[in-house]
Amino acid sequence: MDLMSIREYDPSMKQLWEDMFVCYAKEDLEDTLPEEVLRKEIARDVFLRNQETGVSSIAFVMAGDKAAGFAIYQVDSPESDWCKRPGWGLIREFCIVPEFRRRGYGKALAQYAMEKLLEKTDRLYLTAHDEAAICFWSACGYRDTGEDFTNGNRLMEKLK
C-alpha cells in the first residue's frame, strides 16, 4: 500500500480538484451536465470560491502522490450556498476513487474531516444517497435518522 496522507487544498491542486470533481459528478452523482459546466460553474465557481472565502474546506486523501479521494466540509452558515442547519458541521461532498475503496482511505478522510468540524461545533450531519453510503457513515459513528433530506438523500447525524 502506498503511503497514505491527508492534504488540504492549495492553489497548486486546482487542476487535480477540477478533474476529480468532474469524474465524481459524472460517475457517483450521475450528473448529465456538460464537463465545461461541471468544471467552471460548479467545481470553480461554487466549491473553489467557497474554499477561497473560507466558507468550506477541501481535503484530499493521498496514496503516495496519487489522489485517492476528496471531502468538502463546512460549518453551515448564511455565507454558504448550502446552509440547511446553521451551526452544524457538514461533510458536503465525499468521494473515494473506486480502486481505493475498502482499503482505509475513506475512513481516514472521514475521520480527518470530522475532527476538523468538531473543532468548531459539536453537531454534525450529512446526507447519504444509497445503502452502501449509509453503512459506511454508520461505521464512522453517524446515526441514520430514517428521514429523507431536502436533496432526496438520507439524513444522518453525529453528536459529540
Most distant CA pair in the chain: distance in Å? 41
Q: How far apart are CA 130 and CA 154, in angstroms?
A: 8
Q: Of all residues in the chain, what percent carry a pLDDT higher than 90?
A: 84
Per-residue pLDDT for 81 more than 80? yes
Q: Which CATH number do you get for residue 96?
A: 3.40.630.30
Q: What is the pLDDT of residue 27?
A: 82
Helical spans, DSSP H, in the chain: 14-27, 35-37, 49-52, 105-118, 131-139
Contacts of 119 (CB under 8 A, 6+ apart): none
Per-residue pLDDT for 1 more than 60? no
The answer to whether 157 touches 142, Cβ cutoff 8 Å, is: yes
Over the stretch 115-127, which tens digit does the pLDDT of each residue have? 999 999 999 999 9
Over the stretch 25-44, which tens digit does the pLDDT of each residue have? 888 777 788 889 989 999 99
Q: What mean pLDDT value characterizes the chain?
A: 93
Binned at pLDDT 50, 70 and 90, residue 78 comes out as very high
Over the stretch 40-75, which tens digit does the pLDDT of each residue have? 999 999 999 999 999 999 999 999 999 999 999 999
For 111, the domain range is 4-159
End-to-end CA distance of the chain: 32
Q: Of all residues in the chain, what percent carry a pLDDT higher than 70?
A: 98
Domains in the chain, number: 1
